[in-house]
Chains A and B, each alone.
Chain A
């Protein structure tokens, strides 16, 4: 059996400690990089000229002390601003159209489901409504046969499987004043 690796602990272990902190070491390593790195893009001569490497922690501290949380304001020329505005308006319009289409689809789906349920409620086991029976001269259906499929469709069995039942309605601190809306009609 192999002993577990101590590679991750090495930074914190006194055995492996050096005189410089790890960040400063990284800094030195950066400075020690060869000037002509293996890269296809040209090296910029202006870059980092005469500028000594700082501890990245100091850099970060200075950055967060001196920069505000608000991003700088957008400053555009006239035409640039107008272009920006055009794109913004078009984007808003596009989003709106998408949302409108979604709402339309949802409404259509809801309506067709409601109509289907209504049709199920009105038919019996043979798929005939009361009017159909009158027209065909059949005796009227009696008992539980009428709308059986509708009742089956309305069963809530398994609807809340895997979902806490509390999520069935929006949770409030206190029960509603009117527990049930008895006067509700479509």
Chain B
């Protein structure tokens, strides 16, 4: 139910109950044809003449007496605040698009006209695209002509997508729906709006964390994320980008939310890489892969991926290894990379499984990708021609749960403590002036 009157106005200036059946005098310049059905029936008046058969509406009851009666007669509690209920009960429930404000209605008329024009453009563009596509099979075509046609087609499709967004971007109801979080991600306008929203703040925070903590030159050379990623451990613990996660939380694999903003279903590879594993012999740091899964299906509406529920045969290359930082080590970064698999280069032999990776073949022919230690993500990405599209980060440090987590995971060295090499101080040297004292 929409609230069409400002609440403050409602409280200050309540219409008389007897007048509620009289429709508002509207500002419309045209007369209403008498045959049109009433857009919205006037709301039920707060019942002053309540008979025992009368049912109270828990949405509209707004006096203490009526609330008590509602509870006694129907055993129901009122819904929402009394202020809200009063506003609902005393306002005319005209739908938002029919609100009787002249300027608003004129504005809607302008926008509607513009939308019909845009829709016409979209139709025309679609026809032109199909015509150009149909021309592909005709006659002999030189390489240059083919390239030119494809270039034109790309431009036309881009313009078509732009028109689709422009047709809906001025609609107040679309805006309202999006702000309520009810947008349908199958529609380009909602995808566009949520992409804008992500880029306006969250992506900037992500990029800041990624560059400050040097994930980008350390694990991969560079990344321009176009998918947003969210991590949740144990279903409820949402992790901000780069946050420390307690080892007991991160014992179970997380649930990822990978949100692409462009149309269609695609397969992605998810890898979690730790670039901070100490190598004592070399006095340096190594990489370790904590999780690697391929052929994960992602689309704008299918975004939640439970890493524990992936298929071990066809998807998982490396099982989840809980992050563990031994005592005395500095914190370790765990970078989550989403890599898009290219249907044009991967597994082109069978059209049905274009873009999928054959994991059993990989395990036999390329066993180094199934090894955790010294997993170099750069070469993995280069070899399989993956495209990095999303990134996220969390950190782990030694805490009270680490040793038992390591024990349960079967990792050696839960009781090892790392110590810095002691630097012997230089022998004390007398200051020059002290001998004169």
Contact = CB atoms under 8 A, between A and B. Distances in A.
Interface string B369-396: 0000000000000000000000000000
B107 A89 contact: yes
Contact of B3 (A79, A87, A89, A90): A79
A173 to B, nearest CB: 40
Contacts of A79: 2-4, 6, 96, 99
A171 B107 CA distance: 43
Interface string B90-101: 000000100101
Contact of A82 (B6, B7, B176): B176
B118 to A, nearest CB: 11
A125 interface: no
A86 B3 contact: no
Contacts of B107: 86-87, 89-91
Contacts of B114: 93
Contacts of B192: none
Contacts of A10: none
Interface string B160-178: 0000000000101001100
A110 interface: no
Contact of B172 (A86, A91, A93, A94): A86
B6 A94 contact: no
A89 B111 contact: yes
A82 B175 CA distance: 8
* A contact residues, range: 10 to 19
B108 interface: yes
Interface residues of B, number: 21
B110 interface: yes
A90 B107 CA distance: 5
B93 to A, nearest CB: 12
Given A77-B6, A90-B170, A93-B170, A83 B104 contact: yes
B7 A86 contact: no
A85 B104 CA distance: 10
B96 A93 contact: no
A78 interface: yes
Contact of A83 (B3, B99, B111, B170): B99
Chain B contact residues: helix, strand, loop or mixed: helix
B175 A85 contact: yes
Chain A contact residues: helix, strand, loop or mixed: helix
Contacts of A90: 106-108, 110-111, 170
Nearest to B110: A90
Interface string B251-291: 00000000000000000000000000000000000000000
A89 B111 CA distance: 8
Nearest to B117: A97
A80 interface: yes
Contact of A87 (B2, B7, B103): B103
Interface in B95-136: 96, 99, 101, 103-104, 106-108, 110-111, 114
Interface in A81-122: 82-83, 85-87, 89-91, 93-94
Interface string B3-28: 11011100000000000000000000
Nearest to A88: B107
B6 A83 contact: no
Contacts of B4: 79
A53 B172 CA distance: 48
B6 A86 contact: no
B172 A85 contact: yes
Contacts of B108: 86, 90
Contacts of A87: 103-104, 107
Contacts of A86: 104, 107-108, 111, 170, 172
A94 B104 CA distance: 14
Interface string B134-172: 000000000000000000000000000000000000101
B170 A89 contact: yes
Contacts of B8: 77
A155 B104 CA distance: 53
Contacts of A83: 99, 101, 104, 172
Contacts of A89: 107, 111, 170
B111 A93 contact: yes
Nearest to A80: B6
A80 B99 CA distance: 10
Contacts of B99: 79, 83
B102 to A, nearest CB: 10
Interface of B: 2-4, 6-8, 96, 99, 101, 103-104, 106-108, 110-111, 114, 170, 172, 175-176
Q: Which 5 A-B pairs have the closest CB atoms?
A: A90-B107, A77-B6, A90-B110, A87-B107, A86-B172
Given A85-B175, A90-B110, 8 more contacts: A79-B2, A83-B99, A85-B172, A86-B170, A86-B172, A89-B107, A90-B107, A90-B170
8 contacts: A77-B8, A78-B3, A82-B96, A83-B104, A85-B172, A86-B108, A90-B107, A90-B170
